[in-house]
Structure 1
Amino acid sequence: MLLEGKNAVVYGGGGHVGGAIARAFAREGAKVHLAGRGLPRLEEVARQIRAAGGGVEVARLDALDEARVDEHADAVAAGSGSLDVSVNAISLGDVQGTPLAGMTLADFVRPIDTAVRSTFLTARAAARHMARQRSGVILTFGGGGGSPPVRDYSIGGFHVAVGAIDVLRRQLAAELGGHGVRVLTLHSGGLPETFDDAEIADGIRAGTMLGRAATLDDVGRVAAFAASDLARTMTGTSLNITCGAETD
């Protein structure tokens, strides 16, 4: 198992992406600590993990709540003996489909504020423990901040938000590398399973070189690899799982 004996915190663990990552981590032997605002969804993911024989704990918290994030990370490290992996997979609350010229400031700024604040707070909380351990992995989800702008469809502040996450990831990696901590981003280019609109889902697939897009299961598997020692030489970079929709 790739993550045997590891303790992993997944913020947004009740969502599509967070749940997929949490289940993959548990399959690879990690004890998963699900954190998020929606307790029923967290409990459902926890039920699935337990049914498969995995170890899991659930905590209700808002990743934008500084005191609660710090408190939870401290509790995980103290109660489980370490904090080895931290994943931020919370929803950014972005508004899409409205042209920037017609968007309110609040709608534009919301995903940027959420992305930067939650990534900073969750990464900082984990880094304090990981630096002392001289090991650990911090994962963010989004990437693509350096990719070309999207034509014919407005994604609001989302593109700016993932760009900010990219910058923060690189800076964290530079500062934490000397302490044995790795920082990576998973970049999917869009997951058809998470869209109710079939036209959008089909458009994501059509834009890839492989004629298919990453699945939630793909995201979980790559996240488990990134968090494991198999990826010990990787930090400061984005893992491109866009099926060729974007090239590096």
Structure 2
Amino acid sequence: MLLDGKNAIIYGGGRVGTAVATAFVREGARVFLVGRSLATLEKAAERIGRNVEIAQVDALDERQVNEHADAVAAQAGSIDISMNVISDTDTQGTPMVEMTLDDYIRPVITAVSSKFLTSCAAARHMIKQKSGVIMAFGGSVERSPLMHDYNFGGIQVTFDAVESMRRQLAVELGRHGIRVLSLRTSGLFESIPLDYENRQMIIDSFVKGTLTGHAATLADVGNVAAFAASDWARTITGTEINMTSGTALD
């Protein structure tokens, strides 16, 4: 198993967090899944089924994040993987000039703040261990001609900010044996609410924009994250892993 004996903290008990946790557990990791909603976490743990512990933690609360990371390190003996996939609370579908500043800037503040807190909390323990992997979602939003009529709000700036953090952390932490990565998809149609007004248009754009005719699924995210967190990927750091099926060409 790729992650046998590894201890992982995953922030976010939604669909992405559950998919990643499921893959990590399958590959032998002990998973600590955290989020703000205990009910959501309990449902996620029920789906995952085994080797997962849940805790109610607000990834925007510095004290809660630090205390939980310290508790995991003390209980499990190490923090080998930290992955932040909480919601960025972004608003999409409205032209920038019609948005309020709060709606536009909120996902930037949420993403940068939470990833700063969770990354630093894990890194303090990883530095002592001289090993570890920190991961998040990132990647600039690809503006396909098919999406000229769609407005992404502040999520483009948000992802660009996350990528800048990824590069900075990779440089600062690499000397301590810590890898920092981001995963980039062209979008996850499974995460779009069924009643979302433009859902089918977005899904169609995901698929049409790929070279392979299929977009990444939640299971794909879990599988790639498990590989990226494993020792098989020990030479990969400071970069984004492109899961766009060719939508974005490197």
The interval holding the TM-score normalised by the smaller chain is over 0.9
Give the paired residue count: 243
1:3-53 Cα distance to aligned partner (Å, 9 max, x none): 0000000000x2111110010000000000001011111111212222xxx
- Give the secondary-structure state (helix, strand or coil) at the position aligned to 1:224: helix
Deviation at 1:142, TM superposition (A): 2.6
1:198-238 Cα distance to aligned partner (Å, 9 max, x none): 22112211111111100100000000000000100000000
In 2, are the aligned partners of 1:144 and 1:189 still within 8 Å (CA)?
Answer: no
Q: 2:150 aligns with which of 127, 146, 153?
A: 153
In 2, are the aligned partners of 1:142 and 1:186 still within 8 Å (CA)?
Answer: yes
Matches within 5 A, 1:1-248: 1-12=1-12, 14-50=13-49, 54-144=50-140, 147-148=142-143, 151-195=148-192, 196=194, 197-248=199-250
Q: Partners of 1:82 and 1:41 in 2: how far apart?
A: 26
Q: Partners of 1:208 and 1:24 in 2: how far apart?
A: 24
In 1, are the aligned partners of 2:8 and 2:82 still within 8 Å (CA)?
Answer: yes
Letter of the structure 2 residue corresponding to residue 90 of structure 1: I
In 2, are the aligned partners of 1:23 and 1:220 still within 8 Å (CA)?
Answer: yes
- Give the secondary-structure state (helix, strand or coil) at the position aligned to 1:86: strand
Deviation at 1:245, TM superposition (A): 0.7
Q: Partners of 1:23 and 1:5 in 2: how far apart?
A: 15
Point out where structure 2 has 5 or more consecutive residues left out of the alignment. none
Q: Which aligned segments of 4 or more residues in structure 1 are displaced greater than 4 angstroms?
A: 147-150
In 2, are the aligned partners of 1:184 and 1:236 still within 8 Å (CA)?
Answer: yes
Q: Which shows bigger deviation, 225-234 or 197-206? A: 197-206
1:81-139 Cα distance to aligned partner (Å, 9 max, x none): 00000000000010000000000000001000001000100000000000100000000
Q: Partners of 1:233 and 1:76 in 2: how far apart?
A: 26
Q: Partners of 1:112 and 1:193 in 2: how far apart?
A: 23
In 2, are the aligned partners of 1:35 and 1:58 still within 8 Å (CA)?
Answer: yes
1:49-73 Cα distance to aligned partner (Å, 9 max, x none): 22xxx31110101100001000000
Deviation at 1:148, TM superposition (A): 4.8
In 2, are the aligned partners of 1:11 and 1:88 still within 8 Å (CA)?
Answer: yes
- Percentage identity across aligned positions? 57
Letter of the structure 2 residue corresponding to residue 62 of structure 1: D
In 2, are the aligned partners of 1:192 and 1:202 still within 8 Å (CA)?
Answer: no
Give the TM-score normalised by structure 2.
Answer: 0.95
- Give the secondary-structure state (helix, strand or coil) at the position aligned to 1:246: coil
Deviation at 1:153, TM superposition (A): 1.1
In 2, are the aligned partners of 1:193 and 1:201 still within 8 Å (CA)?
Answer: no
Give the TM-score normalised by structure 1.
Answer: 0.95
Q: CA RMSD in A?
A: 1.2
In 2, are the aligned partners of 1:86 and 1:137 still within 8 Å (CA)?
Answer: yes
In 2, are the aligned partners of 1:98 and 1:156 still within 8 Å (CA)?
Answer: yes
- Give the secondary-structure state (helix, strand or coil) at the position aligned to 1:179: coil
Q: Partners of 1:110 and 1:85 in 2: how far apart?
A: 27
